[in-house]
Structure 1
Amino acid sequence: MKKKALVVGSGIAGIAASIRLAVKGFDVEVFESNAYPGGKLSELLIQGYRFDAGPSLFTLPEQVAELFRLAGQKTEDHFEYLKLDVACHYFWEDGKKLKAWADLNRFAEEVETKLGEPAGHIREALQRSAFIYDHLAPLFMHRSLHKFGTWTNPQALKSYLKMGKLGIFSTMNKANERQFQHPKLVQLFNRYATYNGSNPYETPATLNIIPHLEFNIGAFFPKKGMHDITMSLYKLAESLGVHFHFNARVEEILVENGKAVGVLVQGKEIKSDILVNNMDMVNAYKTILRKQKQPKLLLDQPKSSSALIFYWGIKKNFPELDLHNILFSEDYKTEFDHIFNKGSIYSDPTVYINITSVYKADDAPAGCMNWFTMINVPNNKGQNWDELIAEARRNIISKISRILKTDLEPLIEVEEILDPRTIESKTSSAQGALYGNSSNNKFAAFLRHANFSSDIKNLYFCGGSVHPGGGIPLSLLSAKIMTELVS
């Protein structure tokens, strides 16, 4: 008889965990409080426009492909994606523009031509990023940090000798200031701190690992949109016999004699051999694990930044815009000071615009574009969000209008808003933080919850709020690490 596994939450890590457990021979059921799978990786359909609701950057596609391979399927039969020629378009108020070409030499030449920064500096920075990745990825991304064997394997011992070169003792900003002459290029590379909701002026320079993913490996786009990551893996899980329960909020993880034995859903006890929590770790302990010992040190850690997103249907085509676009603030340091220290939104925020209709034309009506317009904001501490959102909206529209030299307001024919409050209510993310605990100190990697419980046998954790971190690739890797711990 098969062992039974229950998964709480159908975020991308929960779906990946269900696939891996099914392949491993478990009978798997997933309980999701929403009416749909995917958590943050969902979609919106509004009056002829389609929007990917959450994560918009796709890197390390091999983490998705591995799940199909494990199930004996060919990825291309179920999920198709393409590599981007341009990772991002960058805009500044003074009229400067940059295209971050996927071709490293072309990008380096673009930087030298547009900013006067020696092309060699780009090559050196990305070589350094690759060096950090080669030494830290096997240790921090692919293994549990909470098992003794991780720290005694040959790869770890090799990395200890390189600690001084891995950015642990510097901040991202300081490292980038040493690397580049032009402040705009420092700002561009500081932006990668936002990929896990951090502050480049505080987070360790080890996060300069991120450009390696985007440039040396590549940025990609699923041909049916980001939501297809969710749907293709959801269908794969179902084909393996995984059973999903929607609108099924777990009320409690049942623990008997120090062992997880099932869940309580709508007053009914459902028993299992193992239990996997894909819900945000902080909110899980506050709700479904409220009767259990609380890991206070981890729960009390500062949380990552959140986001304010405007889903705009724009009744005009802007040929100068691509899939990923950044309109930079004139004062980046002040912007981050507002986010992390003042708990507010700077009057000149950096604006990110994701437009999938550039590659997937049916995401918007003819002659129109679907703008996922986002700024980084503080997590929810009870601010007056209605007031902050109204002011931010005015500032964002004003900034875009200046840089694109157009009056944007009359072009907005569809609008939906997602803010830290609704992020928390829809995805159970504590304080609406996008990436769980903050990474604004050198010990942050060690202050994430393990992929297993040290107090409750047969209880495991996956998702962006636990090791190794937030974002699609790390969430998928959390499911991999977790499943490898299951016996």
Structure 2
Amino acid sequence: MTGPRKVVVIGGGVAGLASATLLAREGFDVELHEKNASLGGRVGQWAHAGFRFDTGPSWYLMPEVFEHFFQLLGSTTGEQLELIRLDPAYRVFFEDDPQPLDVHSGQEAVSAAFDRVEPGAGERLSAYLESARTTYDLAIRRFLYTTYESLLPLLRVDVVRRLGRLTRLLVQPLDRFIAGYVQDQRLAQVLGYPAVFLGTSPSRAPSIYHLMSHLDLVDGVFYPRGGFTKLVESLTALAETEGVRVHTSSRATKILTRSRPRRWVSGDRRAAEVTGVRFRTAQGEETTDADIVVGAADLHHVETQLLTAAARSRPPSWWSRHDPGTGAVLVLLGIHGTVPQLAHHSLFFTRHWEAHFDVIHGSGEPIPDPASIYVSRSTASDPEAAPEGHENLFMLIPVPADTGMGRGGVDGDSDLAVERVADAAIRQVASWASVPDLADRIVVRRTIGPQDFADDVNAWSGGALGLAHTARQSAFLRGRNTSRRVAGLFYAGHSTIPGIGLPMCLISAEILLKAVRGDRSTGPLPTPLSVRSRGVDHPAGPTRPTPGSRGSR
């Protein structure tokens, strides 16, 4: 790069903010445009009557990924966030079992807990967790931080030596892999539930994702005090420190391109290249020129709504063969009094949870009652999230990614299908957690349905998470983060590599930087990144938000 070329990032979620920040530090002239009035994408927050609710991600895992990202910018997690380690990491309620299971992170603690449920399972769990650790370590070194522009960098001794095992882990479903280690259904559910956070189910997720058990069962689960929008505030402040110009209420309507008559000379056979982006703002239609465009919004939306048919990398047939992942009904409740029966994170598992997964993935049956659901009580760790003498509850009920279910609303003012799911979940939590008067103690209620996800973040089919991590939608099969048709067009975020989740979105931004650089290395970049100005490297000093900024501490 001989001068600061212009970059436009579409989408102000975590991946968009992180991508814009890294590219600005690289020396690009970067603008970020977000269609909503606030930044964060799926990382949202709703405040009402003194209650504060996270409306998106609520599990802080893989802390080393966050630390690495902040170190790229000359900072640390400790400078940016105040993390609380949760103990227990979570509590699990099982159908027809009056005794919930508290899961305390750490191999010794969790092995002892498993032994109490199924004698001998603790020793087998140790082997399971060792496999999870080695698979996770290999993923960090070789698979999560690569662009997959070439598979040659993957041909290393540590990969080749494990090729047979890796192949088995990619083709064997997670539930069958788990069955080789535990027989008790409750323990199998504890090991299999992370598949839900990957937008799929244990029977559909490849068993390579057993690596996720290393994250919650060994490394631990954390919570950023003040909620997950603290991460958004931190990323926003870092982006602005690096010179990113942030525009909210600026909706992208078209990615502009032109033909490339000299493409054969460069060896790049793509027929078009980006020239800019058209936006709709309060002032009307505006056009911004760009040398590089980063689609950090939902990939289905970027491909099908912002590009002409000739410029799309994925035709309609591609989308028809792929899985948009899990939808969700969210229920936000302000509760009078305390609910100590619930931990910060609580999971409710039905005996026949596969029936629920079948519904999620298209059986056509109604959502079962009871259902397998997740509940967060962030006031367990952050009392300021509710008025004194009150608590907040966030419920997530997995449903099909289907906008036909409708929208949520406040105090029952929403579509009937959404409210029915919410009512059933409230009854279930009240019964299973022994809080019989839960419904009577609700003072604030809001629901969010699949259509809300489509409206708010342009989610494909109203999916809550992103493309499901099935075997055909994982690793290099998930698709590259560069356009196959348009030079200068890149992708970032949950819809592309490496996948779903906040850590993956941060890694996605780093992979984007690699793609722009033409870097085909497989591991994390050295820290900190050098500061570039008009193509000249300068030593990188500490990068901290300025005093009084939204990300300062």
Tell me which residue corresponds to 2:390.
Answer: 368
Q: How does 1:335-346 map to 2 (within 5 A)?
A: 335-343=356-364, 344-346=366-368
* Deviation by residue 1:44-91 (Cα, 9 ceiling, x = unmatched): 101110011100001122333333322223432332213223221111
Tell me which residue corresponds to 2:192.
Answer: 190
| In 2: Cα distance, 1:59 partner to 1:138 partner | 18
Q: Of 305, 312, 323, which residue of structure 2 is paired with 1:302?
A: 323
Secondary structure of the structure 1 residue equivalent to 2:312: coil
| In 2: Cα distance, 1:121 partner to 1:395 partner | 37
Q: Of 272, 287, 294, which residue of structure 2 is paired with 1:276?
A: 294
- Contact persistence 1:89–1:98 (CA under 8 A): yes
- 1:60 counterpart letter in structure 2: M
Tell me which residue corresponds to 1:200.
Answer: 202
Alpha carbons of structure 1 residues 416 and 439: separation in structure 2 relative to 1, 3 Å = same
* Deviation by residue 1:438-475 (Cα, 9 ceiling, x = unmatched): 23335643442311112211111000011111111111
Tell me which residue corresponds to 2:129.
Answer: 126
- 1:10 counterpart letter in structure 2: G
Instruction: Specify the structure having the higher radius of gyration (Cα).
Output: 2
Tell me which residue corresponds to 1:260.
Answer: 274
Tell me which residue corresponds to 1:141.
Answer: 144
Secondary structure of the structure 2 residue equivalent to 1:168: helix
| In 2: Cα distance, 1:62 partner to 1:360 partner | 23
* Deviation by residue 1:229-269 (Cα, 9 ceiling, x = unmatched): 11111111111111110000011111112111211113222
| In 2: Cα distance, 1:433 partner to 1:162 partner | 32
Q: How does 1:215-226 map to 2 (within 5 A)?
A: 215-226=217-228
Q: 5+ residue gaps in structure 2?
A: 260-271, 408-414, 518-553
Alpha carbons of structure 1 residues 283 and 404: separation in structure 2 relative to 1, 3 Å = same
Q: 5+ residue gaps in structure 1?
A: none
Query: More deviation in 316-325 or 285-294?
Result: 285-294
| In 2: Cα distance, 1:8 partner to 1:457 partner | 16
Alpha carbons of structure 1 residues 313 and 381: separation in structure 2 relative to 1, 3 Å = closer
Query: More deviation in 443-452 or 462-471?
Result: 443-452
Tell me which residue corresponds to 2:507.
Answer: 477
- Contact persistence 1:51–1:311 (CA under 8 A): yes
| In 2: Cα distance, 1:224 partner to 1:442 partner | 37
Query: More deviation in 143-152 or 246-255?
Result: 143-152
Secondary structure of the structure 1 residue equivalent to 2:180: helix
* Deviation by residue 1:272-312 (Cα, 9 ceiling, x = unmatched): 22111101111111111134234125422121011110010
- Contact persistence 2:106–2:219 (CA under 8 A): no
| In 2: Cα distance, 1:354 partner to 1:142 partner | 30
- Contact persistence 2:313–2:484 (CA under 8 A): no
- Contact persistence 1:104–1:216 (CA under 8 A): yes
- Contact persistence 1:33–1:249 (CA under 8 A): yes
Percentage of identical aligned residues: 26
Taking only aligned residues, the RMSD between alpha carbons, in angstroms, comes to 1.9
Q: Give how far 1:402 is off.
A: 1.2
Tell me which residue corresponds to 2:229.
Answer: 227
| In 2: Cα distance, 1:242 partner to 1:294 partner | 28
- Contact persistence 1:4–1:274 (CA under 8 A): yes
Tell me which residue corresponds to 1:350.
Answer: 372
- Contact persistence 1:253–1:263 (CA under 8 A): yes
- 1:326 counterpart letter in structure 2: L
- Contact persistence 1:125–1:179 (CA under 8 A): yes
Pair 1:427 & 2:441 matched: no
Secondary structure of the structure 2 residue equivalent to 1:485: helix
Q: Give how far 1:222 is off.
A: 0.8
Tell me which residue corresponds to 2:485.
Answer: 455
Alpha carbons of structure 1 residues 158 and 458: separation in structure 2 relative to 1, 3 Å = farther
- Contact persistence 2:422–2:447 (CA under 8 A): no
- 1:426 counterpart letter in structure 2: D
Query: More deviation in 274-283 or 317-326?
Result: 317-326
Tell me which residue corresponds to 1:440.
Answer: 470
Pair 1:324 & 2:337 matched: no
| In 2: Cα distance, 1:384 partner to 1:4 partner | 39
Q: Give how far 1:155 is off.
A: 4.5
Secondary structure of the structure 2 residue equivalent to 1:186: helix
Alpha carbons of structure 1 residues 330 and 158: separation in structure 2 relative to 1, 3 Å = same
- 1:143 counterpart letter in structure 2: T
Tell me which residue corresponds to 1:11.
Answer: 13
* Deviation by residue 1:321-365 (Cα, 9 ceiling, x = unmatched): 221111211211111111113244222211211111111111011
- 1:357 counterpart letter in structure 2: T
Tell me which residue corresponds to 2:267.
Answer: none
Q: Give how far 1:383 is off.
A: 4.3
Q: Give how far 1:153 is off.
A: 4.3
| In 1: Cα distance, 2:180 partner to 2:273 partner | 51
| In 1: Cα distance, 2:242 partner to 2:480 partner | 27
| In 2: Cα distance, 1:256 partner to 1:152 partner | 37
| In 1: Cα distance, 2:290 partner to 2:406 partner | 43
Tell me which residue corresponds to 2:336.
Answer: 315
Alpha carbons of structure 1 residues 262 and 213: separation in structure 2 relative to 1, 3 Å = same
